[in-house]
Structure 1
Amino acid sequence: MTSPKTTQTMKPATAAKKLGVYLEATPAEFQEGVVSRDELNALQADPPEWLTELRRNGPHPRPVVAAKLGISIGGLARGGITDPLTTEQIEALKAESPEWLERERATQAEVRKEAKRLKEKDA
């Protein structure tokens, strides 16, 4: 005898992380409920307007900000960026290109180069 299949659910913070959005910027009904695996898949397959807008303009969570700047999350912290940023703020930072951002991009490039070298060595 098999037990009835239960629906897998997750906290809103987990769902927001999987969707790549900043939880505090999501609608209240998203923040207050639980998200099932099916609901998450539906949001990914056919994102509603609020999700599309958040992904386009932000505010973005730190992992997304770091990726858009081409640096690590640690590099964001070393640069003094601790809050979520909008796309406009990220673009302004790229245009300004402060010394810390250039340094962190160079560090990230070295890390990637070393990872590639080690991968090729192991292959």
Structure 2
Amino acid sequence: MTSHQNTQTMKPATAAKKLGVYLEATPAEFREGVVTRAELNALQTDPPAWLRDLRRDGPHPRPVVAAKLGVSIAGLHRGGVSEPLTTDQIEALKQERPEWLEREQAVQADVRKETARVKKLHAERAERTERD
């Protein structure tokens, strides 16, 4: 019995998400084809110039913009940011420090604190359970 190994492929949108880049800014040949797992791995380990440029300069997808600004994706939406931003635009927002950005960063900091508190609580409960 012979085993056939199928090549695993993904849509360009999935590959762009895994690479952390905005699909519409990628080259046409990337958007119009399929990406194999091997091709994705090659792009991650030895990114071509277009990928390095996109990661450095943008435009960046919402999850990347949110992470760079220290807010949630919903916070971006509440702040009126619906389009992909370039690195320069993100840096300008950081310098301008609009009220919505400061508010959303505070919300995100509170979420992180609460997540850490709950994680610590669960760890303490698990420890007590193991001892009992």
User: Is the pair's TM-score, using the shorter chain for normalization, greater than 0.5?
Assistant: yes
Listed one character per residue, the Cα deviations across residues 60-87 of structure 1 (whole Å, up to 9, x for unaligned) are: 0000000000000000000000000000
The TM-score, its normalising length taken from structure 2, stands at 0.92
* Matched position secondary structure for 1:74: helix
Aligned pairs (5 A) from 1:6-25 = 6-25=6-25
Q: TM-score, normalised by structure 1?
A: 0.99
Q: Distance in 2 between matches of 1:81 and 1:50?
A: 25
Of 1-10 and 14-23, deviating more is: 1-10
2:83 paired residue number:
83
- Give the structure 2 partner of residue 121 of structure 1: 121
The reply to whether residue 64 of structure 1 matches residue 64 of structure 2 is yes
Q: Which runs of 5+ in 1 are unaligned?
A: none
Q: Secondary structure of 1:85's partner? A: coil
In the other structure, the counterpart of 1:54 is 54
Q: CA RMSD in A?
A: 0.6
C-alpha distance in structure 2 between counterparts of 1:2 and 1:105, whole Å: 56
Q: Which has the larger radius of gyration?
A: 2
- Size of the alignment, in residue pairs? 123
Structure 2: unaligned runs, 5 residues or longer: 124-132
Shift of residue 2, structure 1, vs aligned partner: 4.1
Tell me the alpha carbon deviations over residues 17-75 of structure 1, each in whole angstroms, 9 at most, x when there is no partner: 00000000000000000000000000000000000000000000000000000000000
Task: State the shift of 1:3 in Å.
Answer: 3.6
Runs of 4+ in structure 1 over 4 Å off:
none
Deviations 1:73-122 (A, max 9, x none): 00000000000000000000000000000000000000000000000000
